[in-house]
Each structure stands twice: as structure tokens, then as C-alpha cells.
């Protein structure tokens, strides 16, 4: 009798089956995290820089001369707790809600400290970084998959690869540059320390993230880097917002440029490090590479004016938490800029460990809004494990037609 009823009323049976499938599939997606949060358009990213494995902090959680390995491992433990945090009701993206998921972990270089004697080799530093940032991270994205690690190189990583004016041991070790290149660019034939060539093997890559163009470049957007950037932007809709992640601040540093004096070598006198291909244009640097970079910046400013869809710039190198607007040497451009702290060499946090921080970036790709929040991860140094506390925050529009 039941079988006959089923045959005579196929439409009802199909409806019931479809309903059950919807429930099962919907439950699966919720359990896997696909429906976490109020808006699937929200992307969360943790941003940090300047890990500096190989050196020590004078003070950290009651101990002295604490290694980069210990401090970075402690920070990663606190980063792992971010999904359980409630965002402050600050009017920013996701405000008042639980984080629940972190889709990306971003680190913009100086993974290995420069190998000036007696600092350990880049190979040892990379192995420690790999343990902390690749094996110990427990973050999961909205898609239910492990958070993706995104990397850019720093000036110390590059100096280790190409050499330095002061003695290092070994003289060169490109391990961190090679590993970053292979992880991020995924060449068919992976590079090795023997085949790596800094002049040719720049770590530049980009991808589209739900209408937002994410760009990672080597050190600073000098005239040589801008050739690659232009080629990439030629493939991007002019209305698509672009976010740049790199190591150096928009002003860069004069010592990072190539020595303008023949034979263009790195010198202990002027301290040029030949890290960017562009030759320094403002004369010899007399005091520890502290010369102006106005001429170099103006080239970058012209580029920004030609590409108003470049809406945000994230960097390390000079390390403290700061949300600011880069205006260029002539105050004729506006670029939302975000400077992040270092666990080892923070300008402020190296003196006051309560100021140690990383950033949580929350991006609403539908509304094209970006909120960056300071995460203070060591406000109670006497406690070995603690939840990060939120500090400063800022929300900016990424819409191309809106002024910064």
C-alpha cells in the first residue's frame, strides 16, 4: 500500500527528497564553516612582519635575551586564538561579531635576520620559521581549509642572498628567498640555492580576491618593480581596487637603493645595500644611509596618480603599529597606508613588550570596505598564554571613485 502511494504521488516524494537533501547539504556547509559570520563576502587576514629569527629580545615575559624562535612561537600561539575573539563594535567590518575564521596569514619579510657574525644562517632561521608559521598555525578560513600563508621578502632576506658590505657567515645564504619564491610562485622547476639569481628571480605575484586585487612585490615599488606592476595592472579592471603588500614603507630608505657611484658596489662608507635595482639619485649618503628619497618617491607618486585604483599599502621594515595616509614628498597624493609591528625589532614594543602587536584585516568585498585592527598580544607579560586585546582600528573605503 505504501509502495503504491509512493508511485502514484511522485511530485510529493521528489519534494520530500529535495527537502532532505537541502537540510543535509546545508548542515554540511555550516559544519565546514562555509556559512560562518553574517556575510560570506567578509575576508579576514592576520598581518605581521619582521620575524627576525636569529636575534634576541632583551626582555620578554620575565626572561632576558629571549630568542626569535621563542618570541615568534609565542605570537603564533596568540594568533591561533583570533577566531574566538569578539570584534569590537567600532563600526568596522564585522564589528560586534565573532571572528570565527581567518582566511590568510600574511608576513612581509625579514624572516631571517642578516647573518652578521655571530647571527645564525638563513637556513637555520628558515627552518624555525617553517615550524612556527607553517606547522604550528591552526587557523581555518571561511572555506573550512587551513589559512593560506602569503609572504614577501625583506631587506635582511635579500642581503643574506646577495651579500653585504660587512662580514657575514656564510658570505651568502639565499635560503629564505628561495623558499619564499618556491612557495609563492610555484615554478615548474623549483629554485635551489645554487640556481637562485636575485636580479631575475624577483618575488612578485598577484591574485584577485572577490573583486579586490591583491599584489605582493619585492621590497619597494621602485622604477624596475613598477614595470612588473604595470604589466600586472594591464590585466586588471581599472575599477578594481588594488592593495599592495611589501616590506618597505612608501618612503623606503636611501641605503636600500643601488649605489650610484661606479663601480656601483656595496660600500661600508655609504652603506648602500643594492637591494632595489634603481640607482639612488640624490648623491652619496653620508650618514648610515639616512639620505632623502624625495626624487625616488616622486616616481612612485606619479605612478599612483596614473593608477587611482591602488587604494591601500601594507608594510613592515620600520616597525610600529600605525594607520596613516601617505602623501608623498610634495603632499600631492593620498594613499591609505598600514605599518605593522615586529615581534623582535618593534620601535616601541622592543622597549615596552605590552605594545607587541599584529594586525587583523577584515575586508567586505561586496561593500568594498577595509577595516584594520591592532591586536595587542602581550598586554599581560606575566601570563604565558592570553587572548589578544584590540587597540586602534580604522575603516577605509576601497571604492575607486571615492577619495581616500
Segment 144-155 shows an average pLDDT of: 98
Of the candidates 208, 199, 204, the residue with the CA atom closest to the CA atom of residue 237? 208
- E strand or H helix at 370, and its extent? strand 369-376
Of the candidates 190, 167, 103, 185, the residue with the CA atom closest to the CA atom of residue 139? 103
Q: What is the pLDDT of residues 37-60, one digit of tens each?
A: 444 589 999 999 999 999 999 999
CA distance 53 to 128: 7
Cβ-based neighbour number of residue 86 at 10 Å: 13
Taking CA atoms, 258 is separated from 154, 164, 254, 279, 298, in Å, by 16, 12, 9, 5, 17
pTM for this predicted structure: 0.90
Read off the pLDDT band of 76 (50, 70, 90): very high
Provide the grid cell at 106: 600574511
The bridge status of strand 63-67 relative to strand 56-60 is antiparallel
Let me know the angle formed at the C-alpha of 83 by 79 and 89, rounded to the nearest 5 degrees: 105
pLDDT at 30: 35
pLDDT at 286: 59
Residue 35: pLDDT over 80: no
- 110 conformational bin, left if phi > 0, alpha if psi -120 to 50, beta if neither: left
Of the candidates 124, 132, 125, 120, the residue with the CA atom closest to the CA atom of residue 110? 125
Of the candidates 108, 77, 75, 109, the residue with the CA atom closest to the CA atom of residue 353? 75
Segment 278-294 shows an average pLDDT of: 80
Provide the grid cell at 2: 505504501
Of the candidates 263, 266, 261, the residue with the CA atom closest to the CA atom of residue 284? 261
Residue 120: pLDDT over 80: yes
CA distance 274 to 266: 6
Number of H helices and E strands in the chain, helices first, is 8, 14
Length of the chain equals 404
Residue 169: pLDDT over 90: yes
CA distance 131 to 139: 15
Cβ-based neighbour number of residue 1 at 10 Å: 5
Q: What is the pLDDT of residues 335-377, one digit of tens each?
A: 999 999 999 999 999 999 999 999 999 999 999 999 999 999 9
Amino acid at each position: 500500500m505504501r509502495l503504491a502511494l509512493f508511485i502514484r504521488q511522485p511530485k510529493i516524494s521528489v519534494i520530500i527528497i529535495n527537502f532532505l537533501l537541502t537540510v543535509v547539504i546545508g548542515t554540511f556547509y555550516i559544519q565546514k564553516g562555509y556559512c560562518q559570520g553574517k556575510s560570506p563576502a567578509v575576508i579576514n587576514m592576520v598581518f605581521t612582519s619582521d620575524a627576525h629569527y636569529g636575534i634576541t629580545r632583551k626582555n620578554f615575559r620575565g626572561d632576558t635575551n629571549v630568542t626569535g624562535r621563542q618570541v615568534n612561537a609565542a605570537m603564533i600561539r596568540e594568533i591561533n586564538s583570533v577566531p574566538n575573539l569578539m570584534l569590537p563594535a567600532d563600526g568596522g567590518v564585522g564589528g560586534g561579531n565573532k571572528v570565527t575564521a581567518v582566511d590568510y596569514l600574511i608576513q612581509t619579510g625579514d624572516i631571517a635576520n642578516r647573518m652578521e657574525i655571530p647571527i645564525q644562517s638563513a637556513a637555520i632561521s628558515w627552518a624555525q620559521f617553517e615550524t612556527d608559521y607553517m606547522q604550528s598555525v591552526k587557523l581555518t578560513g571561511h572555506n573550512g581549509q587551513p589559512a593560506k600563508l602569503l609572504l614577501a621578502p625583506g631587506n635582511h632576506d635579500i642581503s643574506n642572498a646577495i651579500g653585504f658590505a660587512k662580514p657575514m657567515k656564510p658570505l651568502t645564504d639565499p635560503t629564505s628567498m628561495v623558499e619564499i619564491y618556491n612557495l609563492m610562485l610555484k615554478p615548474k622547476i623549483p629554485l635551489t640555492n645554487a640556481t637562485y639569481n636575485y636580479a631575475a628571480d624577483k618575488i612578485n605575484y598577484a591574485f584577485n580576491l572577490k573583486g579586490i586585487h591583491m599584489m605582493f612585490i619585492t621590497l619597494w615599488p621602485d622604477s624596475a618593480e613598477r614595470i612588473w606592476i604595470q604589466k600586472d595592472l594591464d590585466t586588471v579592471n581599472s575599477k578594481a581596487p588594488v592593495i599592495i603588500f611589501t616590506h618597505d614603507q612608501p618612503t623606503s630608505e636611501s641605503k636600500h637603493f643601488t649605489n650610484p657611484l661606479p663601480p656601483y658596489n656595496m660600500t661600508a662608507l655609504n652603506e648602500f645595500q643594492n637591494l632595489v635595482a634603481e640607482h639612488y639619485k640624490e648623491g652619496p649618503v653620508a650618514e648610515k644611509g639616512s639620505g632623502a628619497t624625495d626624487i625616488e618617491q616622486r616616481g612612485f607618486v606619479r605612478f599612483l596618480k596614473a593608477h587611482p585604483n591602488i587604494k591601500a599599502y601594507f608594510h613592515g621594515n620600520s616597525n610600529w603599529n600605525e594607520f596613516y595616509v601617505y602623501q608623498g614628498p610634495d603632499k600631492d597624493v593620498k594613499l591609505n597606508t598600514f605599518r605593522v609591528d615586529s615581534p623582535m625589532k618593534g620601535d616601541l614594543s622592543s622597549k615596552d613588550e605590552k605594545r607587541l602587536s599584529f594586525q587583523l584585516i577584515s575586508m567586505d568585498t561586496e561593500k568594498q570596505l577595509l577595516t584594520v585592527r591592532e591586536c595587542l598580544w602581550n598586554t599581560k607579560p606575566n601570563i604565558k598564554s592570553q587572548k589578544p586585546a584590540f587597540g586602534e582600528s580604522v575603516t577605509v573605503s576601497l571604492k575607486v571613485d571615492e577619495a581616500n
